[in-house]
Amino acid sequence: MIKVLFICLGNICRSPMAEFVFRDLVNKRGLTKHFLIASAATSSEETGNPVHYGTRKKLAEYGISTEGKRAVRMTKADYEKYDYLLGMEEWNLRNMRRIAGSDPKKKIHRLLDFSDSPRDIADPWYTGDFDKTYNDILEGCQALLEHIIKEHKRYCSLRDQ
């Protein structure tokens, strides 16, 4: 099983958006049984809060629900549990490394580092632009899934079902 954790500052906008977009992509490819997908925050400010209404509204446009998701904080144990820890911006990565203690296994990346145009994903909490955030996250999730499929085909039977 491939374990993926998406991480942002509060776990109410970007990382849950990535979690549910990635789940949708994985499901559409028939690969759900091969993945454990979750999201978390680097801060505890929003712990227990539901997904931001802007994220819920944007994902609903694509028939994607975030029902039941509540913000949680990344823990040091998450570093060992997950294969991929994906932050939305460089600041997230610094905080993720601080929480994990370091990154000796090179598991920590920005989501868009897997795309043809590596960059940060702006926080719609501040920008108000959930459309741009969605487009960036979709680009990153599609590139990540292709990377994982390619990488894991070498070692297992991960393929479209």
Tens digit of each residue's pLDDT, the chain (161 residues): 999 999 999 999 999 999 999 999 999 999 999 999 999 999 999 999 999 999 999 999 999 999 999 999 999 999 999 999 999 999 999 999 999 999 999 999 999 999 999 999 999 999 999 999 999 999 999 999 999 999 887 555 565 44
Residue 104 domain-assigned? yes
Task: Let me know if 8 is a catalytic residue.
Answer: yes
> Per DSSP, what are the bridge partners of residue 5?
38, 85
Residue 159 domain-assigned? no
CATH code where residue 19 lies: 3.40.50.2300
Which residue of the set 13, 56, 110, 123 is catalytic? Answer: 123
Residue 148 domain-assigned? yes
SS3 state at 102: coil
Number of independent structural domains in the chain: 1
Do residues 95 and 42 make contact, with C-beta atoms less than 8 angstroms apart? yes
Instruction: At 158, list the tokens.
Output: 């991960």
pLDDT at residue 25, rounded to an integer: 98
Residue 158 domain-assigned? no
Task: Let me know if 123 is a catalytic residue.
Answer: yes
pTM: predicted TM-score of the whole model, two decimal places: 0.95
Residue 96 domain-assigned? yes
Residue 131 domain-assigned? yes
Task: Let me know if 156 is a catalytic residue.
Answer: no
**Domain that includes residue 97, residue range:** 2-153
